[in-house]
Amino acid sequence: MDIKDVFELASPDLFIPELEATNKQDALAEMVDKLVDSDHQISNRETVLQMLLSREQLGSTAIGPGVAFPHGRALATQDLIVVIARSSKGIDFDSTDGKPTNLFFMLVAPPQDSGNQYLGALAALVEKMQDDSLRDAFLNADEFDSAFKALTGEE
């Protein structure tokens, strides 16, 4: 799976250009709310939020630099869904380097998925976010389309 495939799983209605949250739990809740407000037929926010919080308790997904990948499988979805969010001020997400986190890629996967899309999408995002220039371009993109172009290099 490449980054274009991953972005097909996301969409403008799953993009938060600027998080209002100032802490980890609120950031996760805001991203889950975005998911619930979208047309993915998920009405029960608590079960998804609880899954993400449980995962974070096992070790932070803010593997840096400045990027977190909250993720996990949830009974509440039939499709792999990607929510993308940014915080220009940065949020304490218990990152491995101790620095604030500015970019968030939340992946919520179904219990079963053919070809393990979930892992492929996560790997593609983690790889892309290791590139300093791509990450900076993404941080400076103010809309979903420009964020997409920043990561894929498309005009």
Partner 1 sequence: MNRQLELLISIQNLELMLRDAEDADNSAEMETMGLKVDTEKIKADLEAQIQEIEPRERGYFNRIKNRVDNPVVAVWDGHCTGCFAGVPTSFSSVANENKVLHCESCGRILFIP
78 binds partner 1 (CB under 8 A): yes
Nearest approach, Cβ of residue 57 and partner 1 (Å): 7
Chain Cα centroid distance, residue 123: 12
CA distance 121 to 99: 25
Residues annotated as catalytic are 71
Nearest approach, Cβ of residue 69 and partner 1 (Å): 7
CA distance 106 to 14: 10
3-state secondary structure of 110: coil
Give the residue with the Cβ less far from partner 1, 111 or 153.
Answer: 111
3-state secondary structure of 83: strand
Q: How many residues interact with partner 1 (rule CB under 8 A)?
A: 31
CA distance 54 to 7: 26
63 binds partner 1 (CB under 8 A): yes
Q: Which residues bind partner 1 (CB under 8 A)?
A: 41-44, 46-47, 50-51, 54-55, 57-59, 61, 63, 69, 71-78, 96, 111, 116, 119, 122-123, 126
